[in-house]
Structure formats: structure tokens, C-alpha cells
Amino acid sequence: MEVGLFIPCYIDQLYPQIGMASVAVLESLGVTPVYPRNQTCCGQPVFNSGCFKESEKLAKKFYTHFRGFEYVVAPSASCVHMVRHEYGNFTQNDPEFARLQSHIFELSEFITNILKVERLDGRFPHKVGFHQSCTGLRGLRLGTSSELNEKKGSKVRALLQSLDGIEIISLSRPDECCGFGGTFSIFEEAVSSFMGMDRLRDHQQAGAEIITGYDASCLMHIEGLIKRNKKNLRVMHIAEIIACAIS
């Protein structure tokens, strides 16, 4: 199976290892990732600042690179949410555009929902804090948010849980926002960091060694606070954990 591989702009520039881990994970599951060379960005940072017109240009560019793929996979729930839920603003009734919207998946979502893999054959003997980034959780519904009276649970969490030796710790606030929020992290920097420190403290008090999630932007924010405050924790994207566990 071939899939279009979308590597978000900030992962491309700042976290190439997450991109390579995503490639490794897909290949290990028998999927061939195809990386359109001239891809850049889904437009989310611009869109989330309110600049809809500008982000439309980036959406149209994204479409030119990824149309025609059976599936598109990205190690970023927020980017996938952008395409799936916000690209509707730009599609102008183009059925191919609509098709792209319904066939793009976050990496772990692709593994559980399309490849129908529920258990991974790998070992990761660590205490892990699972940060359920907001757009993935309440946007893509990758899990059940704590606000809702529903019992669906999280397939992504179950996937992680299947790794041998892993212990996913319990948080006092299981899905509170970390405070990254895109440009919020710059323009509301005081609140952003205050929120991030609260998340960090929660993970620390619960005994986490590693904080993971499906959005590297949140992890970048939390990691920044870890390093500044010299905390004894590290962050790993879910793709990195899986790649490490199955290798």
C-alpha cells in the first residue's frame, strides 16, 4: 500500500527525527510512504491567526501535492484536523478536494482505523505520560474527552498500551490544554507558559519519565519548559516511541 506522506513544516525544520520515525513505522507495517518533494505546510498557523485568505493559498498548494493519493498520513493531529475540518472553507465543491479531506489521517489513527492494527509487537519499558493534544482529542475525536458522558475510549492509547513493559500514568487533569495554541504561545506568552508548567507538574507528580503525544507542537512547548526548568523528563512523539519499540 502506498500513502502520501505529509510532514508538517515545523517537523520538517525542527524535528526531522519524528519524520524519519514516521517513515520507519509505516514501512514496518508494510506501507510505502511517498513524500511529495515540494510540499510545505497545511496552512494551519496562518489560518488559526484569523488570516483565512492567506491560508487558502497554502491549502490550494497542499491540494496540488496530495490529490490523487488513496490515503495521506501525517504525524500531526492538528494538521490533519486543519485539512479535514477547515479546508471546507476553500473547496468550492471540488469532489477531489473533498476526497482528500476524508482520506487524510493522523499516523496512529491511520494505524488503528485503516490498517486495523490494535496491538504492536514491541517493547517500551518506561513510565509514559500521554498528552492528548486538544485538536486530536476534541477535533479528530481520537479519544473521548473527559467532558463528555461517553465511553468510547482511545484507540491510540490502547495502541500504546499494547507495547510490552509500558506504563501509562494517570494524570489529575487527563486532557487539559498545554497552552501552546499556535501563535497564542507568543502573543499570550505568560498564560501559555503557566498552562504548560501545570501540565508538566501533573506529569511529573504522576511519575512520568517520558511525555508523549501525537502533536509535536505541544511537545515542543512542554520540552521547552522542561529544559528551562531543568526537569528530569523528556518528550518523545508517538511515532518515535513506536519506532523505538518495534526496532
Partner 1 sequence: MSNHAKKAAEFLKDEERARWHDQSLWFLREKRDNASKSVPDWESLRETAHKIKRHTLANLPRYLEQFEENARARGVHVHYAFDGSEHNSIVLKILKERNVSRVVKSKSMLTEECGLNHVLQKNGIEIIDTDLGERIVQLLGEPPSHMVLPAIHRKKEEVGKLFHKYLGTEKGASDPTYLANAARAHLREIFLASEAGISGVNFAIAETGGITIVTNEGNADLGNSLPPLYIACMGIEKLLPYSRDLSVFTRLLARSATGQPISTYTSHLLGPQPGQEMHVVMVDNGRSDILKQEKFRKALFCIRCGACMNTCPVYRRSGGYSYNYVIPGPIGTVLAPHRGIKKYKSLPSACTHCGSCTDVCPVKVNLHDQILEWKAEVDVSGNLGFVKKSAMVMATIVLGNAVLLALVGNLARMIFRILPKPICNFITIWGRTRDLPDIPAKSFRKVYNERVMNEADHG
- Write out the binding residues for partner 1, residues 101-160 only, by CB under 8 A: 134-135, 137-139, 145-150
CB within 8 Å of 139: residues ≥ 6 apart:
77, 78, 81, 85
173: alpha, beta or left, given left = phi > 0 and alpha = psi -120 to 50?
beta
For partner 1, give the closer residue by CB, 111 or 197: 197
Q: How far is the CB of 118 from partner 1 (least distance, A)?
A: 26
What is the CA 214 to chain-centroid distance, rounded?
A: 3
When asked if residue 227 is in the footprint of partner 1 (CB under 8 A), the reply is yes
Candidate residues 96, 191, 205, 247; the one interacting with partner 1 per rule CB under 8 A: 191
CA distances from 8 to 15, 74, 93, 196, 206 (A): 10, 7, 26, 22, 31
When asked if residue 224 is in the footprint of partner 1 (CB under 8 A), the reply is yes
Considering only residues 53-72, where is the footprint of partner 1 by CB under 8 A? 54-55, 57-58, 61
- 217 and 97 Cβ atoms separated by less than 8 Å: no
CA distances from 86 to 45, 81, 83, 91 (A): 12, 7, 6, 10
CA distances from 154 to 6, 145, 189, 197 (A): 23, 9, 31, 25
Considering only residues 5-64, where is the footprint of partner 1 by CB under 8 A? 7, 9, 11-17, 19-20, 23, 35, 37-41, 43, 45-46, 48-52, 54-55, 57-58, 61
Piece of 66-74, 108-116, 159-167, 222-230 that binds partner 1 (CB under 8 A): 222-230
- Cell for 81? 484536523
When asked if residue 232 is in the footprint of partner 1 (CB under 8 A), the reply is no
For partner 1, give the closer residue by CB, 112 or 133: 133
Q: What is the rounded CA–CA span in Å between residue 117 and residue 26? A: 12
DSSP 171: P
Applying CB under 8 A, the site for partner 1 has a residue count of: 72
Q: How far is the CB of 70 from partner 1 (least distance, A)?
A: 21
Q: How far is the CB of 47 from partner 1 (least distance, A)?
A: 8
Piece of 66-74, 157-165, 176-184, 204-212 that binds partner 1 (CB under 8 A): 176-184
Piece of 118-126, 155-163, 220-228, 237-245 that binds partner 1 (CB under 8 A): 220-228
When asked if residue 205 is in the footprint of partner 1 (CB under 8 A), the reply is no
Return the CA Rg of the chain: 17
